[in-house]
Amino acid sequence: MDALTFAVQLLNGLQYGLVLFLVASGLTLVFGILGVINLAHGAFYMLGAYLAWWIAAYTGSFMLALIGGVAISFVLGLLLEEIFVKRMIGRDHLAQVLLSFGLILVIDEVRQILFGKDVHSVAPPAWLKGSIQLTDILSYPVYRIALCVVCLVLAALIFFVIQRTRLGMIIRAGAENRDMTRALGIPFDKVNRYVFAGGIALAALGGILVSPISTVFPGMGDGMLILSFVVVVLGGIGSVAGAAIGALMIGLTDTFGKVFFPQFSSILIYVLMAGILLWRPNGLMGKGN
């Protein structure tokens, strides 16, 4: 592998890792703040992609699809928190698993009714079409570079909110000690609702952002759910920094795994997870190691 191909693969790995971070940070925050395990996280990733395809097909605008898809998902998150998730806080994990499994079936079927089960692709905005020619045979799509930039900006935004704002302070305190923050009279109902809806919106955003570079298909949520879980296991529950590290590790492992061990690339990330479990069972940035 020459240096240029290596650089391209590295870029692919980083970009994959960054998208994974967006989705997984939503998941880890919902775990950390609400203490609720949400298996339906991947379903919202899938739903976001389908929403983007649908809006783009009607309006012809990717930007509208992006804004509309995120907004719809956020509102859906608020509603679900109000109707279901709120009642799950403090219940055992088994009930949470079953509820979110039920939600997956419902979301999948509603998607089927509204959008069908066909595989689609979404066109990127016109000004991000095309590729940068690197050599005679090697080029890199502009959209992928833009995707990296957008993800980095969003990641910076997430860290800013968590580290520098009042909401972020509450979130950090909540992830540290849920009971104590509750006792301090912080409006947790409200925080929970926005964290959950925000988490859902991040998952949908991930699905929307990748829709121009990969296909939109019914099973895309499942794969993403498992990868997000592995990210959270690697990084530690509730840790956004851990999610960032875990996501980049997986992005790079998977990308280079496909290059070097194409047959077993999908197994590699689990080997990585097994290694981390042996070394630090609560994740790299998790509590109680």
Q: What is the binding site for other proteins (CB under 8 A)? A: 31, 37, 39, 84, 87, 90-95, 97-99, 101-106, 108-110, 112-113, 222, 226, 229-230, 232-233, 237, 263-267, 270, 273-274, 277-278, 281-283
Structure tokens at 112: 């089927």
Nearest distance from C-beta of residue 93 to other proteins, angstroms:
6
Q: How far apart are CA 4 and CA 140, in angstroms?
A: 11
Nearer to other proteins, 58 or 260 (CB): 260
Nearer to other proteins, 31 or 62 (CB): 31
Nearer to other proteins, 90 or 185 (CB): 90
Q: How far apart are CA 149 and CA 152, in angstroms?
A: 5
Give the side-chain half-sphere CA count within 13 A for 220: 27
Contact 196, 9 (CB under 8 A): no
Nearer to other proteins, 9 or 282 (CB): 282
Nearest distance from C-beta of residue 249 to other proteins, angstroms:
14
Contact 200, 80 (CB under 8 A): yes
Nearer to other proteins, 127 or 279 (CB): 279
Nearest distance from C-beta of residue 263 to other proteins, angstroms:
6
Nearest distance from C-beta of residue 52 to other proteins, angstroms:
23
The DSSP annotation for 222-268 comes to HHHHHHHHHHHHHH-TT-HHHHHHHHHHHHHHHHHHHHH-GGGHHHH
